[in-house]
Each structure stands twice: as C-alpha cells, then as structure tokens.
C-alpha cells in the first residue's frame, strides 16, 4: 500500500473515495454540492461508533464514506477509543470497495487529545491491517484488494508527513512479517529465512547480513541450538542483520526472534490436531525481520541488530531424546526433558551470542508456550523483563500501537521448577506457570544486559486466518521512541 499526504479542501481533493466523520459530513456535502443526497443518507442511517454509511456520488469522488457517531461530550479517552473503532471500520470499508484510491479527512475526526500524528498513524495502521492479503498460492487472485493508495488530508502538514513516513515503514515491515509467517513450512525453512534476511541488506549501505551455518554454530558451542535442529533434513541457521542508523558509539538495541519454521514437537511429538499451526512457530523471527525492514524504511537514527534463530523441530533417527544433556554456549548444561520445549533451546544460545554486541537492551520474541495462550488469550502478549525501564517502554509502546502486552512475574520462586538431578537445569518445569517458567529459563542466559522477553503464542497469528504481524507494531513504536 502507498500512502500520500494531501492538503487543501475536502470538497476538491482528487480521489475516488472520500472518508469523513459523521460530525462534518453535512459541511463537506454542502461544499461538494450534494447536500440533499448526503442528507438522505445521514437521515436513513444511525450514528454509532464504528458505523459506516455510504453515499454513492456521480463523478469523482464516486464514494463518500461517513464514519462513526455524532456525540460530542465524551471524555478524551472515550473519544480516542471511539476513533480507533472508527478507523478500523473505515479501513475495512475502504479495502472492500472497488476503488484504487481513498482519502481520509483526518483533521475532521475527533480523537480526544490525539493530534494529527497519532490520528494518521492509527488510521493507516488500520488500513494496513484491512488491506493485507496473502495470495501467492492462489491460482486466481480475485481476493486481492483493489486499493492501492490512501491519502490523508490534514492542515497539520509536518505531523501528518512524519506519521505517514512511519506508517509506510511499519506497513512495509508488517507485510514482510506476515508474508513470512503465512508461507508454508515446505517453503519457509531456515534457508528461506536466511535468503529473506540477505535481501534486507542488498543495496543498502549501512545494513549487513551474516548467516551462521551449522558448522559455525557448532564451533561457537551452541549445543542447545544444535540439539533442536538435529532431527531435521534442513539445516538450522543463526541469522543476524545489523543496521547502523545511529552514531557509531551508540549501543545497539538487539531483537532476537524464535524461528522454528515447523514445530512437530520432535520425539515428544505433538498431537495431530492443530499441528498445522506450528508453521507459525517462526513468527518471532518474522517480527524481528519485519522490525528491521521497518527501521530501514523509516531510516530510524538508531543502531539495531536483529537475530533470527532458525531451525526446524523434527523427529528422526538423529533427533534429540528426552533426557539428553547438552552444553549451551554459556557453558550451562541442560537436561532436555521435553523436546517440544525447543524454543527456549534455540533462544538461550542466541541470547548468549548477542552479548558480544554490548547491547543497550535485548528483547526476545517467541511463540514460546501454550500456557501463554491460556493465561492471556490473543488480546495481549506476555511481557517479562529483568529491567523495569525496558518493560515500561515496551508496555507503553504496545498501548500506543494498540498492540498490547501485559507484564508477568519473573520471581525467583519460580526458578526451582527447572532443577535437574543430572544437569544445571531441565528445559521444562511441571504443568504450573508454563509461560513464566519458560521465561525463567531464558533469564538465566540474559544476565549481562537489560532484557525483556515477549511470549506471543496467542497474539502472533489467528488460526485458519493468518499471521497478525504482532508484536511488530509495538516493537516499531519502541524503536521510534528509542530513536528520539
């Protein structure tokens, strides 16, 4: 999708479809000379948050979309919530129309205290979501949205422009993240992810991609990572993309993503029902590659390193067994009591690896546990951190981006669930507090830097529908703030 900033008069803007809030619809209609027609539409439809009334006009624009409710005396927070609903409704309506171009009168919408920047971001985020399609494997592409361009009309030119740039960059990143997630696992394997990561640095001077293959991974002593990929015919890769957008002296933000391109469970094989969902077990990796794409597109003035720990978890004659003991890159040993708790095994070595970058902060993102889905559902990602500043920054970025996360405890009390009789730790605890215990496991490899962990098992995809791209909206917001 391409976004454009426009100025001037709503009534005279060149567009196929004009989008206005209900509160200014009559004014706009009068300026366009269609008072009577639009009046009939308004009288024949109800005013409610999230409602869309359509007026079909002669000439251009051929569509006028009238959005939301009329009410004026709500408080600022209620207005912002109503605006978010209106933005989603408007975006869905635009994407469903057979027009190539739409323009939204941003200034006319009342969103409480939100300025043109926030309103534009909210609107275009909704458009990005509504217009996304994944069709490479469909013989007929009839599902594709016709919409190509969305314009925002605002007198606050500088704010709208800045919002537009950020929205465009996020859309670029989200498209990549969702596409990677939705690819089938026979195509999207670790080699495929490595190729996609290389594309990010192609032709861009301040971006480099490094791909560690299994022999290099072995040399580094990443025994936990290797234990996961052993059963697979497609070799694992540790993928690193380094973007130098900031000052040379600035410590980088490091994002680490779980990239299990398919999770069968390994020898502790999963049940067959719903196993197809495990193609999305690389959504953490997809979100960090998407974050890199967005940072490059927005030319954010920060140093950013993303790492995708990519492997396939398969059973087989060479696969790890329950009770195997491996040595991690950190030197700590792990008794693998369940081969289906593989995410933490690839991530722990990635966390040890990133120490070399002397990070300002490390955030890992993983579809790590079914327990997270039970605890929070798709509404919020689980947030864990060993640093309050990083946790707060991520959580407020998530609130702003409407991509929420909820902080969970990382108390020492939970650590003993990982006690092992034979090694430094087991890779699983019991049934209790599964998402927390998984985070506790990771925390043992993240002692040398401010660190946060996002368990996105419930938020990363919608079964049978597709990848959501989450938590990229929150991550991008976090990076934008880190850059300013």
Nearest to residue 382, comparing CAs of 398, 404, 401, 406?
A: 406
Please, which of residues 52-71 interact with Zn ion by CB under 5 A? none
Residues in binding contact with Mn ion, number by CB under 5 A:
3
Neighbours of 1 (CB within 10 A): 19
Closer to Mn ion by CB, 69 or 310: give it: 310
User: What is the DSSP-derived secondary structure letter of residue 160?
Assistant: H
Question: 344 catalytic, yes or no?
Answer: yes
- Work out the end-to-end distance of the chain between its first and last CA atoms, rounded to an integer number of angstroms: 26
Give me the catalytic one of 198, 270, 355, 407: 270
Cβ at position 441, least distance to ligand BES in Å: 10
Pick the catalytic residue from 344, 404, 426, 444: 344
Which listed option, Mn ion, Zn ion, ligand BES, none, makes contact with residue 457 (CB within 5 to 8 Å by class)?
Answer: ligand BES
Nearer to ligand BES, 277 or 424 (CB): 277
Task: List the one residue out of 396, 384, 404 whose CA is nearest residue 450.
Answer: 384
Give the list of residues 6+ apart from residue 70 with CB closer than 8 angstroms, or none.
Answer: 22, 23, 47
Is residue 110 near Mn ion by the rule CB under 5 A?
Answer: no
User: 30 or 432: whose CB is closer to ligand BES?
Assistant: 432
Tokens coding 154: 């605002």
Asked if 263 interacts with Mn ion (CB under 5 A), we say: yes
In this chain, which of 86, 101, 172, 263 binds Zn ion, going by CB under 5 A?
Answer: 263
Phi, psi torsion values for 419, nearest 5 degrees: -60, 135
The binder of 330, among Zn ion, Mn ion, ligand BES, none, by C-beta within 5 to 8 A per type, is none
For ligand BES, the binding residues (CB under 6 A) are 263, 277, 281, 338, 340-343, 367-371, 373, 428, 434, 457
Residue number of the CB atom closest to ligand BES: 370
Distance of CA 49 to the CA centre of its chain: 26
Rg (CA), the chain: 24
Number of residues engaging Zn ion in binding (CB under 5 A): 4
Rounded CA-CA distance 98/16 in Å is 10
| CB of 447 vs ligand BES, minimal distance in Å | 22
**Given the rule CB under 5 A, which of 119-127, 144-152, 295-303, 336-344 is the region that contacts Mn ion?**
336-344
Minimum gap (Å) between residue 343 Cβ and Zn ion? 5
Closer to ligand BES by CB, 250 or 277: give it: 277
86 counts as binding Mn ion under rule CB under 5 A: no
Q: How far is the CB of 255 from Mn ion (least distance, A)?
A: 21
Pairing of strands 324-327, 333-336: antiparallel
Strands 461-462 and 466-467: what pairing?
antiparallel
Which CB sits closer to ligand BES, 159 or 444? 444
340 binds Mn ion per the rule CB under 5 A: yes
179, 281, 349, 364: which one binds Zn ion (CB under 5 A): 281
d(CA 414, CA 443): 11
For residue 416, give both structure tokens: 């003993």
* CB nearer to ligand BES: pick between 352 and 369: 369
Question: Which of 103, 104, 107 is CA-nearest to residue 116?
Answer: 107
What is the closest distance, in whole angstroms, from the C-beta atom of residue 451 to ligand BES in the complex?
20
Report in angstroms how near the CB of residue 173 gets to ligand BES at its nearest: 22
The nearest distance, CB 312 to Mn ion, in angstroms, is: 11
- Of 342-361, binders to Zn ion (CB under 5 A) are 343
Structure token digits, residue 338: 């369940």
Who's near 152: CB < 8 A, 6+ residues apart? 3, 4, 5, 6, 103, 104, 106, 120, 123, 124, 160, 163, 164
The answer to the question of residue 434 lying near Zn ion (CB under 5 A) is no
The DSSP element (H or E) to which 18 belongs, if any, is strand 17-21
User: In 3-state terms, what secondary structure has residue 304?
Assistant: strand
Give the separation between CA 446 and CA 147, rounded to whole angstroms.
45
Which stretch in 87-95, 136-144, 202-210, 257-265 sits in contact with Zn ion by CB under 5 A? Answer: 257-265
Binding site for Zn ion (CB under 5 A): 260, 263, 281, 343
Binding site for Mn ion (CB under 5 A): 263, 340, 342
Residues with a known catalytic role:
270, 344
């Amino acid at each position: 999708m391409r976004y454009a900033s426009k100025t001037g008069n709503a009534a005279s803007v060149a567009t196929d479809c004009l989008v206005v809030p209900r509160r200014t619809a009559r004014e706009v209609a009068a300026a366009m000379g269609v008072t009577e027609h639009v009046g009939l539409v308004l009288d024949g439809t109800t005013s409610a948050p999230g409602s869309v009334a359509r007026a079909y006009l002669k000439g251009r624009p051929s569509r006028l979309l009238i959005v939301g409710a009329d009410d004026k005396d709500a408080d600022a927070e209620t207005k912002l919530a109503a605006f978010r609903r209106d933005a989603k409704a408007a975006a869905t309506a635009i994407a469903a129309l057979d027009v190539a171009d739409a323009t939204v009168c941003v200034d006319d919408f009342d969103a409480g205290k939100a300025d043109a920047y926030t309103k534009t971001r909210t609107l275009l985020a909704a458009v990005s979501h509504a217009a996304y399609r994944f069709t490479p494997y469909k013989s007929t592409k009839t599902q594709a949205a016709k919409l190509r361009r969305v314009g925002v009309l605002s007198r606050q030119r500088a704010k709208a422009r800045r919002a537009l740039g950020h929205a465009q960059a996020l859309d670029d990143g989200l498209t990549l993240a969702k596409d990677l997630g939705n690819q089938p696992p026979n195509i999207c394997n670790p080699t495929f992810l490595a190729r996609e990561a290389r594309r990010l640095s192609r032709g861009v001077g301040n971006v480099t991609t490094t791909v560690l293959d299994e022999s290099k991974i072995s040399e580094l002593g990443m025994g936990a990572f290797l234990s996961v990929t052993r059963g697979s015919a497609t070799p694992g890769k540790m993928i690193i993309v380094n973007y130098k957008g900031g000052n040379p002296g600035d410590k980088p933000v490091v994002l680490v993503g779980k990239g299990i391109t398919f999770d069968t469970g390994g020898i502790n094989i999963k049940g067959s029902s719903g196993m197809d969902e495990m193609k999305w077990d690389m959504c953490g990796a997809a979100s960090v590659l998407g974050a890199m794409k967005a940072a490059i597109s927005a030319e954010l003035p920060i140093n950013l390193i993303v790492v995708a720990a990519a492997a396939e978890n398969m059973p087989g004659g060479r696969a790890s067994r329950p009770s195997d003991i491996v040595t991690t890159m950190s030197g700590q040993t792990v008794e693998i009591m369940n081969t289906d708790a593989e995410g933490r095994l690839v991530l722990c070595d990635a966390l040890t690896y990133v120490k070399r970058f002397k990070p300002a902060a490390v955030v890992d993102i993983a579809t790590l546990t079914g327990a997270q889905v039970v605890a929070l559902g798709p509404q919020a990602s689980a947030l864990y951190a060993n640093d309050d500043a990083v946790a707060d920054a991520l959580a407020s970025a998530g609130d702003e981006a409407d991509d929420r996360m909820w902080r969970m405890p990382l108390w020492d009390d939970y650590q003993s669930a990982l006690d092992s009789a034979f090694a430094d730790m087991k890779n699983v605890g019991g049934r209790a507090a599964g998402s927390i215990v998984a985070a506790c496991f990771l925390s043992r490899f993240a002692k040398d830097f401010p660190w946060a962990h996002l368990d996105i098992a419930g938020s990363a995809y919608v079964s049978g529908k597709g990848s959501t791209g989450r938590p990229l909206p929150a991550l991008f917001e976090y990076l934008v703030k880190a850059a300013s």
